[in-house]
């Protein structure tokens, strides 16, 4: 593994680093896919016509998810995501907070890498997703650019935080493939060293997603393809500009992206859970197990219900155009 100073230096310089062979599929990742399958089973029980249920429950992962995705379930991605719905938070809002995901977030091998970037005082950030991307040809037309199930538009991760978080959050993204991820099945792409431009102006893109203003201008840069094997992790700088390609393969592309922020800096997603997962002082670690973690999410949910949203994107990021990509590229 790359030495301490090297990983930090490379991330700061290039905006991304791939660290190979960190996780073990059977031990660290397969349990999450099993839990995803359990969620699918529950959705089949709830939404599938009775006569098809038993047959569907016996399908394998891919066939089952394909079946579930055709059941017209409102906001299907939410059932597989470890966060509250952005809007319309209700008492019964569901989210994917499985024991296996708790194990991933607190995984020692991941935290040992993150420590090289953020230092020894580390909080789990509530900005996290799991993404099950079917072959694009199987997606309904309207979902092709939908970041969780289809392509993700050009963006910087800092842009999805509150204005306070954008300024002060010291955060790193850990992107984790559950399937080998290639150019063909929709890996992320980025541009080397473009993170050095700092935070750029973003606008509300397709379906209110966060997207760099004038992102077409990025097409003229040489992309870096962030391909990865199962077991590898990819770290992204908060100002790395990245997007993902369409899944042109016949298989699924599955991944999770979790984040950490340095203690003492804001998460940018208050009041969602932001708690110590590493510290030199063991007293700082107050969330020790899965049930405490779920309780944190439920507490946050109760805070979000009256205001009806879990988080908001401050868009456009800047009301004036000083930090528009179009302005900065001509300088």
* Site residues for ligand AKG per CB under 6 A: 131, 152, 157, 173, 175, 188, 236, 242, 244, 255, 257
Nearer to Fe ion, 28 or 257 (CB): 257
* Residue 230 contact partner, candidates Fe ion, ligand AKG, none, CB within 5 to 8 A by sort of partner: none
Q: Least distance in Å: CB of 272 to Fe ion?
A: 17
157 binds Fe ion (CB under 5 A): yes
* Residue 179 contact partner, candidates Fe ion, ligand AKG, none, CB within 5 to 8 A by sort of partner: none
211 binds Fe ion (CB under 5 A): no
> Would you tell me the crossing angle of helices 61-69 and 50-57 to the nearest 10 degrees?
150
Nearer to Fe ion, 210 or 277 (CB): 210
- E strands along the chain, which residues? 16-19, 122-133, 171-177, 188-190, 202-204, 210-212, 224-226, 233-237, 242-244, 253-262, 275-278
Identify residues 291-310 at the interface with Fe ion (CB under 5 A): none
Question: Residue 245's Cα: distance from chain center in Å?
Answer: 15
Nearer to ligand AKG, 246 or 314 (CB): 246
Q: Least distance in Å: CB of 285 to Fe ion?
A: 28
* Residue 227 contact partner, candidates ligand AKG, Fe ion, none, CB within 5 to 8 A by sort of partner: none
CA angle 188, 77, 301 (to 5 degrees): 115
Nearer to Fe ion, 157 or 232 (CB): 157
Give the Å distances, CA to CA, from 324 to 14, 65, 330: 21, 40, 10
Q: Where do the H-state alpha helices sit in 61-144?
A: 61-69, 99-105, 108-118
Judge if the upstream peptide bond of residue 316 is cis by omega within 30 degrees of 0. Answer: yes
Nearer to ligand AKG, 97 or 258 (CB): 258
Quick check: 79 and 94 in contact, CB under 8 A? Answer: yes
Give the Å distances, CA to CA, from 231 to 36, 123, 130, 179, 258: 19, 23, 16, 9, 15
Nearer to ligand AKG, 64 or 239 (CB): 239
Q: Least distance in Å: CB of 133 to ligand AKG?
A: 7
Tokens describing residue 323: 């930090």
Q: Least distance in Å: CB of 277 to Fe ion?
A: 21
Question: Which residues would be at the binding site for Fe ion (CB under 5 A)?
Answer: 157
């Amino acid at each position: 593994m790359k030495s301490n100073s090297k990983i930090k230096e490379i991330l700061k310089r290039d905006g991304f680093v791939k660290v190979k062979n960190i996780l073990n599929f059977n031990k660290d990742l397969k349990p999450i896919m099993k839990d995803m399958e359990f969620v699918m089973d529950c959705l089949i029980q709830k939404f599938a016509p009775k006569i098809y249920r038993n047959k569907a429950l016996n399908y394998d992962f891919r066939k089952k998810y394909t079946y579930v995705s055709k059941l017209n379930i409102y906001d299907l991605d939410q059932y597989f995501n470890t966060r509250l719905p952005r809007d319309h938070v209700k008492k019964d809002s569901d989210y994917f907070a499985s024991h296996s995901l708790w194990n991933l977030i607190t995984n020692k091998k991941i935290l040992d890498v993150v420590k090289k970037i953020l230092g020894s005082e580390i909080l789990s950030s509530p900005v996290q997703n799991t993404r099950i991307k079917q072959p694009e040809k199987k997606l309904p037309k309207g979902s092709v650019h939908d970041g969780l199930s289809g392509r993700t538009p050009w963006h910087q991760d800092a842009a999805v935080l509150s204005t306070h978080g954008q300024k002060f959050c010291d955060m790193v993204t850990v992107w984790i493939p559950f399937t080998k991820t290639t150019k063909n099945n929709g890996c992320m792409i980025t541009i080397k060293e473009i993170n050095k431009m700092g935070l750029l102006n973003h606008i509300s893109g397709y379906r209110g997603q966060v997207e760099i203003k004038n992102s077409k201008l990025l097409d003229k840069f040489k992309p870096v393809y962030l391909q990865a094997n199962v077991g590898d992790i990819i770290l992204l700088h908060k100002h790395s500009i990245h997007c993902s390609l369409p899944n042109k393969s016949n298989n699924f592309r599955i991944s999770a992206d979790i984040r950490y922020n340095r203690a003492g800096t804001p998460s940018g997603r208050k009041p969602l859970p932001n708690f110590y997962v590493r510290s030199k002082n063991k007293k700082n670690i107050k969330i020790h197990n899965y049930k405490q973690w779920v309780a944190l999410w439920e507490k946050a949910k109760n805070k979000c219900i009256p205001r009806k949203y879990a988080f908001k994107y401050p868009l456009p990021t800047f009301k004036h155009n000083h930090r528009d990509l179009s302005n900065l590229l001509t300088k």
